[in-house]
Amino acid sequence: MLGVEGLAGPLGRAALLVGLIGAFFGLIAAVMGTRNEDEKVLRLVPRFATLSCVSAIAAFAAMEWAMITRDFSLAYIQKVGSKSTPALYNFTAVWSALEGSILLWLLVLTCLTSGIVFKYRTRITDPMVGWAVATMFFVGIFFFILTLGPANPFAVGAPGVLDGPGPNPLLQNHILVVFHPPILYLGYVGMTVPFAFAIGALITGRVGEGWLVETRRWALFSWGFLTLGIILGSWWSYEVLGWSGVWAWDPVENASFIPWLTGTAYIHSVLVQERRGMLRVWNLSLLVSTFSLTILGTFLTRSGVLNSVHAFSESSIGPYLLSFFAIIVVVSVALIGWRGQKLHSPGTIDSPLSREGAFLANNVVFSVFAFVVLLGTVFPLIIEAFQNRQLVVGEPFFDKLAVPAGLTLLFLMCVAPVLPWRKASGELLADRLFWPAWGGIGALAFSVGLGATGFAPLLTFALGGFAGGAALRQLVLATRRQGLRGFVGRANGGMVVHIGVILIAVALAASNSYTHSQELLLKQGVVATFDGHTFELMGFKEESDARSTVVAAMVRVDGGKTYTPAITKYKSIGTNIGTPSVKSSFVKDIYLTIEPPVKVSSKTAKIKVFIKPMVMWLWIGGGLMGVGTVLSAFPGRRRKPTDATSALVPSETSA
Amino acid sequence: MKYLKTWPVWMLMGLIVVALLTVGTTRDTGPLTQSDRIDSITKHIACPTCDGESVFVSRASAAEAIRNQVARDVSAGTMTDDEIIGSIANTFNGKVLLVPRATGVDSLVWILPIAVLVCAVAGLWAAFRRWRRDNSGEASSDDVALVEKLLAEDPTDEDNV
């Protein structure tokens, strides 16, 4: 008979099986009901959605229960569980490896499917909703199959195991592991919703603008979470990894960044379709790309074909993900081809010097940027496949190509917000760009005055000031007309997002270009100086428990507060992990790490000091992007049907 | 206010930008610390035993060994940054370079982005040309006659103007 301890495995497996059955019948009901216009059958869809969602919740709860009770009968708990892991990190250990992360994906996906079905419960007989829900069930079935097959978190482990190593040490020393993966997954998985509606629109042939309106907020919601997830990941990297950076162009980071780039292109170009009825094929392609790239990224980082600091170990999941990716691409392309005639939009873009022209340019840059990151990520694979030799494509390559792309996007952020729809004249641009341009000159003069050097960072500051001026101009005009409501709506909320992006760009340029570092051999009682700051070793702090031994150097910075860079030795794994300590301010961070070996008895410590300007503005910019996304999701001022879409612009030929 | 926004003022703004950029990019940036140089060099070298991390990022012992070698080379002061990177790369048969070479098949990683960008810009240019052509339709004689007829009916009607 099974004791309570061994119950999580069978329960979890049963829940996953029931969930799979629910999703399968949900798919059948959605397809058959929609095809046969059978309302009775369609009314069953919400029940199947609820069944698969509740099953996924039960499976996730069973896994948490297994983790909390340290049920070492399961192979997954043997891999990432440990009796000595603190409760919080034991809870988050569920998504610290492949099988658990796929389970988390499934949980989010089934909840979203249920949410969609609930939201459209009164319109379930609408064929477009029916096909969209069927698509979501189809994706759900795939992930249920993964969790029951190659990524089964409830697989029975070897007998007699009484303890495990616990999660990766890097995943058990910072609170952000609680938030970063779930938020990132909300973004990843959320992209399924607009993709599903795009498929629904293609199947039904209702490829006008209706489905865009249905999914606008879902796309924005997913993009916002993906953005927040990436920012939190960067923050975690900065606070935990000890190399003082926020982004290493690691394959897993790239896997999240590529769909973010195509998603960002989409949320811009979709405005052109909503306003002008154009770019239908392009927008569908961007949505399909964004969703399929999340699957491709998962394949690249979870199958073991690429190496990465936080890629999970090799597994047999690769062929499944690759096949699913191929199915998505082939079916989507075939559907787009099938609806080719209907997708043809009659409108034209009058001038490159227009809002829609700027959006098109922005889309070109985002798409090429996404291609560059994808190419750099998979290029080692290509070389290995064709030439059987190993190659690493790293940070310097990506930096070299990302800088011009970033600067071009900043330039577009200067001009696009002031451009009217359809066509702008030179006079209009000169008028609207005048003060924002002075903002750019002011920012450049200020940074040169402070001693800033280097072409790329200076241009970033100048364009940052210019783009910031353009965004503020839009917000000032909007708030003058509408008061606080001027911050709300797509255009105005979008400008808040722009300001967040500008802050991030400027902070990245400053912190990457002007970081100084020095290794200091600190002796207790002797003050050392670097870059105008004083550092004094006050002593050491040692802590030990069943899990780890921590040695921290207590370093007083500038005669004030004491900071404690540390090295933690995880006993069960035998790994040493450094933990930085950071003095943050709006102007600069002082980032301290302790270099091994640490000899407490010698009363000396080798401390590496990084002086990093403006890092805090990265997090402030990220926060602003989140706020702006929320503001964008609310409806702005309603446009009267009789309002002109843009101000009248005198034609160049008229005198 | 309007005279401010004329082209001479824009020219002046352009000159100010050029002057500021020239000052900012040509002045002496001051000496780098040894640690700065080591960081800059190790960012270009991959840790040979790690999963795609640079020596700068990695805390592995192999990365530590390379970092120490770079520190010794920098302290000796006889080699430039590129020479130090080249010497480390030679030790590992070029497998630890994080920047692919611009020769042979490796050059594709540099060429393809440029090719894609050129194609995308050309596609955009072609699309705008097509749109401009589609937009440049002349009014037919029927259209002109219709407008003249409407205007003749009531020349004061603003909707007809």
Give the domain CATH number at B71. 1.10.8.640
Identify the burial level of A553 via C-beta atoms within 10 angstroms of its C-beta, where 0-12 means exposed, 13-18 middle and 19 or more buried: buried
Q: Please, are residues A16 and A77 in contact by the beta-carbon 8 Å criterion? A: no
Domain assignment of residue B72, yes or no: yes
A1 with A118, same domain?
yes
A591 with A469, same domain?
no
Q: Please, are residues A540 and A605 in contact by the beta-carbon 8 Å criterion? A: yes
A534 with A468, same domain?
no
pLDDT number for residue B140: 66
Structure tokens at A46: 């919400």
Residue that has been written with the tokens 């309302």 in this structure: A39
CB contact under 8 Å between B105 and A383, yes or no, is yes
Q: Please, are residues A102 and A143 in contact by the beta-carbon 8 Å criterion? A: yes
pLDDT number for residue A560: 93
Domain assignment of residue A240, yes or no: yes
- Name the region of A249 (left: φ>0; alpha: ψ -120 to 50; beta: rest): left
> Which of B55, B84, B99 is at the close of a domain?
B99
A15 with A163, same domain?
yes
**d(C-alpha A424, C-alpha A418), whole Å:** 9
Of B5, B98, B120, the CB nearest to A397: B98
Question: Among candidates A208, A287, A362, which has minimal Cα distance to B124?
Answer: A362
B109 with B50, same domain?
no
Task: Spell out where A156-208 has E strands.
Answer: none
A530 with A432, same domain?
no
Strand-pairing partners, residue A523, are: A604
Residue B82 has a CB neighbour count (10 Å cut-off) of 10
Of A394, A445, A454, the CB nearest to B54: A394
Question: How does DSSP assign B109-156, residue by residue?
Answer: HHHHHHHHHHHHHHHHHHHHHHHHHHHTPPPPHHHHHHHHHHHHH-TT
**d(C-alpha B71, C-alpha A221), whole Å:** 48
**Per-residue pLDDT for A605 more than 50?**
yes
In the structure, what pLDDT confidence band is assigned to residue B134 with cuts at 50, 70 and 90? confident
pLDDT number for residue A38: 93
**b/e per residue A521-533 (b: at least 16 CB within 10 A):** ebeeeeebebeee
CB contact under 8 Å between B57 and A444, yes or no, is no
pLDDT tens profile A505-538: 999 999 999 999 999 999 998 999 999 999 999 9
Q: Please, are residues A488 and A631 in contact by the beta-carbon 8 Å criterion? A: yes
Strand-pairing partners, residue A551, are: A542, A567
A153 with A26, same domain?
yes
**DSSP H/E element including A222:** helix A210-240
pLDDT number for residue A638: 55
**d(C-alpha A71, C-alpha A67), whole Å:** 6
Q: Please, are residues A466 and A416 in contact by the beta-carbon 8 Å criterion? A: no
B-chain residues within 8 Å CB-CB of A453? 24-25, 27, 29
B51 with B91, same domain?
yes
Of B10, B98, B108, the CB nearest to A430: B10
pLDDT number for residue A642: 47
Number of domains into which chain A is organized: 4
Which residue type sits at A473? Answer: R
Characterize the bridge pairing of strands A548-557 and A562-563: antiparallel
% of chain A at pLDDT higher than 70:
95
Residue that has been written with the tokens 């979890």 in this structure: A12
Distance from CA of A610 to the nearest CA of B (A): 9
CB contact under 8 Å between A392 and B57, yes or no, is no
**d(C-alpha A244, C-alpha A238), whole Å:** 6
CB contact under 8 Å between A391 and B106, yes or no, is yes
**d(C-alpha A102, C-alpha A89), whole Å:** 18
pLDDT number for residue A1: 40
A319 with A460, same domain?
no
pLDDT tens profile A97-130: 999 999 999 999 999 999 999 999 999 999 999 9
Domain assignment of residue B106, yes or no: yes
Least confident of A19-28, A447-456, A570-579: A570-579
**A575 contacts: CB under 8 Å, gap ≥ 6:** A169, A569
**d(C-alpha A45, C-alpha A18), whole Å:** 15
B-chain residues within 8 Å CB-CB of A251? 52
**Per-residue pLDDT for B156 more than 60?**
no
Structure tokens at A130: 């029916």
B111 with B58, same domain?
no
Distance from CA of A556 to the nearest CA of B (A): 21
Cis ω before A259 (30° cut-off from 0):
no
**d(C-alpha A295, C-alpha A310), whole Å:** 17
Domain assignment of residue A620, yes or no: no
**d(C-alpha A579, C-alpha A92), whole Å:** 19
Residue B65 has a CB neighbour count (10 Å cut-off) of 14
Q: Is B45 helix (H, G, I), strand (E, B) or coil?
A: strand
In the structure, what pLDDT confidence band is assigned to residue A307 with cuts at 50, 70 and 90? low
Question: Mean pLDDT throughout A179-198?
Answer: 94
**b/e per residue A228-247 (b: at least 16 CB within 10 A):** bbbbbbbbbbbbbbbbbbbb
**DSSP H/E element including A539:** strand A533-544
Domain assignment of residue B123, yes or no: yes
B72 with B43, same domain?
yes
First-to-last alpha carbon distance for chain B, in angstroms, is: 33
Of A307, A444, A516, the CB nearest to B17: A444
**d(C-alpha A142, C-alpha A147), whole Å:** 9
Q: How many CB pairs under 8 A join A and B?
A: 156
Strand-pairing partners, residue A63, are: none
Distance from CA of A37 to the nearest CA of B (A): 41
Answer with the residue of higher pLDDT: A586 or A251.
A586
pTM: 0.90
**d(C-alpha B161, C-alpha B147), whole Å:** 9
Per the prediction, chain A carries an average pLDDT of 90
**d(C-alpha A116, C-alpha A48), whole Å:** 13
Structure tokens at A208: 């006008």
Domain assignment of residue B91, yes or no: yes
DSSP state of A152: -
B-chain residues within 8 Å CB-CB of A313? none
**A556 contacts: CB under 8 Å, gap ≥ 6:** A534, A535, A536, A538, A562, A563
- Which B-chain residues 114-143 have CB contacts (< 8 A) with chain A? 116-117, 120-121, 124, 127-128, 130-132, 134-135
Long-range pairs of A557-563 with CB within 8 A, sequence gap ≥ 24: A557/A533, A557/A583, A557/A590, A557/A592, A558/A533, A558/A534, A559/A534, A562/A538, A563/A590, A563/A592
Residue B116 domain boundaries: 102-130
Number of residues written out for chain B: 161
A230 with A267, same domain?
yes
Number of domains into which chain B is organized: 2
Question: Among candidates A615, A617, A614, A598, which has minimal Cα distance to A606?
Answer: A598
Residue B32 has a CB neighbour count (10 Å cut-off) of 15
Domain assignment of residue B69, yes or no: yes
Least confident of A157-166, A295-304, A552-561, B18-27: A295-304
pLDDT number for residue B135: 66
A552 with A441, same domain?
no
**d(C-alpha A186, C-alpha A200), whole Å:** 22
Cβ of residue B80 closer than 8 Å to a chain A Cβ: no
Domain assignment of residue B159, yes or no: no
In the Cβ-directed half-sphere of A655, how many Cα atoms lie within 13 Å?
0
> Which of A115, A149, A167 is at the close of a domain?
A167
Answer with the residue of higher pLDDT: B64 or B2.
B64
Q: How far is CA B70 from CA A606, B79, B84, B101, B124, in A?
A: 18, 10, 7, 21, 47
pLDDT number for residue B95: 78
**d(C-alpha B27, C-alpha B30), whole Å:** 9
**d(C-alpha B154, C-alpha B150), whole Å:** 7
Secondary structure tally for chain B: helices H, strands E: 6, 0
Structure tokens at A383: 């070389």
B68 with B125, same domain?
no
Domain assignment of residue A50, yes or no: yes
Question: Mean pLDDT throughout A306-325?
Answer: 74
B89 with B106, same domain?
no
**d(C-alpha A515, C-alpha B39), whole Å:** 10
**Per-residue pLDDT for B28 more than 90?**
no
pLDDT tens profile B73-100: 999 988 999 999 999 988 887 778 888 8
Domain assignment of residue A155, yes or no: yes
Question: Among candidates A420, A425, A429, A423, which has minimal Cα distance to A350?
Answer: A423
Structure tokens at A393: 């494509």
**Per-residue pLDDT for A401 more than 60?**
yes
Q: Is A620 helix (H, G, I), strand (E, B) or coil?
A: helix
CA B8 to chain centroid, in Å, comes to 30
A216 with A281, same domain?
yes
**d(C-alpha B118, C-alpha A281), whole Å:** 21
pLDDT number for residue A524: 92
Residue that has been written with the tokens 């070389």 in this structure: A383
A309 with A412, same domain?
no
B-chain residues within 8 Å CB-CB of A576? 59
Domain assignment of residue B95, yes or no: yes
Domain assignment of residue B139, yes or no: no
First-to-last alpha carbon distance for chain A, in angstroms, is: 93
Vertex A301 angle, CA A300 and A307, to 5°: 100
**d(C-alpha A264, C-alpha A465), whole Å:** 22
Question: Among candidates A547, A585, A544, which has minimal Cα distance to A563?
Answer: A585
In the structure, what pLDDT confidence band is assigned to residue A616 with cuts at 50, 70 and 90? very high
**Per-residue pLDDT for A72 more than 70?**
yes
A150 with A84, same domain?
yes
**d(C-alpha A251, C-alpha A7), whole Å:** 37
B124 with B79, same domain?
no
**DSSP H/E element including A516:** strand A516-523
Strand-pairing partners, residue A530, are: A533
Q: Is A642 helix (H, G, I), strand (E, B) or coil?
A: coil
Residue A155 domain boundaries: 1-167
B52 with B70, same domain?
yes
